[in-house]
Amino acid sequence: MSTAIKVTRGLVGISGLIQLALGVLFWTGHATALIPLHMILGFVFVLALWTLAVLAARAGAPAGLVATTLVWGLLLPALGIGQMQLLPGPGHWTVRVAHLLMGVVAMGLAGALFTRGRGREHGRGADDRPRMLGQVPTREG
């Protein structure tokens, strides 16, 4: 399972970085012909994010984190597809910023899923902190 989580996390990371780069190009008025590619890669990103959520859930990631990620994966493309109709005119930049922030949060959720899913697989403690060599776990409070 660990290999699948690593590969899926890599796909989320690579597609997310490409999405950010394309978004910057669009904001600066360049490469608008690549918007369909941005949309396709957005769906790849979301599908990889959902796959990572399922794999991490099977590896013991917290259910709340998994559920949040799955819902976030629904909201992100909904805003992306509908953003041209929202706040047309001078205030439209706020919709673009919201879409950007949602994408960055999705990447953060992927990182959290990766850490928690992989950490539980490797037998770390309930608090997910790696143990130092020679450290003796204690049962406090």
Tens of pLDDT, residue by residue over 49-59, are 999 999 999 99
For residue 138, tell me if it sits in a domain. no
Residue 133: the pLDDT is 53
Please report which residue ranges of the chain form alpha helices under DSSP H.
Answer: 2-27, 35-58, 63-82, 93-121
Inside any domain, residue 42: yes
What is the span of the domain harbouring residue 95?
A: 2-120
Q: Is residue 47 part of a domain?
A: yes
pLDDT tens-digit readout, 109-125:
999 999 987 665 555 44
Residue 132 placed within a domain: no
How many distinct structural domains can be found in the chain? 1
| Residue 54 located in a structural domain | yes
- Locate 73 and state its tokens: 């994966």
Q: Is 126 contained in some domain?
A: no
